[in-house]
Amino acid sequence: MKKKIKKRYFIYGILSLLLITLIYGQLRGIILYNEFKIPGKMVEVNGHKMHIYGEGKNQNTPTVVFTSGWKTPSPYVDYLPLQEKVAKYTRTVTYERPGYGWSEKANGERDMDTLAMELYQLLKSSGETGPYILVGHSFGANEVIRFAQLYPEEVDSVVLLDGSNPNYTVTQKRPSKYFLRYGTITSTIFNNTLNFLNTFGISRLLFDATDLYETKFTHYKNDLKLVSNDMKELDEMMFIKNMNNKNQLHELRMDAVKLVKDRNIGSVPLVVMTSSLYNDSKFTNDIQSDLLSWSTNSKQIIVPNSQHYIQWFNPELIDEQIKELIKEKF
Instruction: Give tens-digit pLDDT for 160-201.
Output: 999 999 988 776 654 444 444 444 455 556 666 666 666 656
Lowest mean pLDDT among 22-36, 105-119, 134-148, 295-309: 22-36
pLDDT of residue 8: 64
Q: How confident is the model at residue 128 (pLDDT cuts 50, 70, 90)?
A: very high
pLDDT tens digits for range 20-37: 555 655 555 555 556 789
**Residue 122 pLDDT greater than 90, yes or no:** yes
pLDDT of residue 250: 84
Alpha helices per DSSP H over 126-256: 140-150, 166-169, 185-199, 202-209, 212-217, 229-241, 246-252
| Topology adopted by domain 41-180+211-329 | Rossmann fold (3.40.50)
| Structural domain boundaries in the chain | 41-180+211-329
User: Rounded distance, CA 211 to CA 188, Å?
Assistant: 22
Q: Given CA atoms 5, 6, 9, 10 in this order, what sign does their dihedral have? A: negative
- Kindly report the backbone phi and psi dihedral angles of residue 67, in degrees, each rounded to the nearest multiple of 5, phi listed first: -125, 145
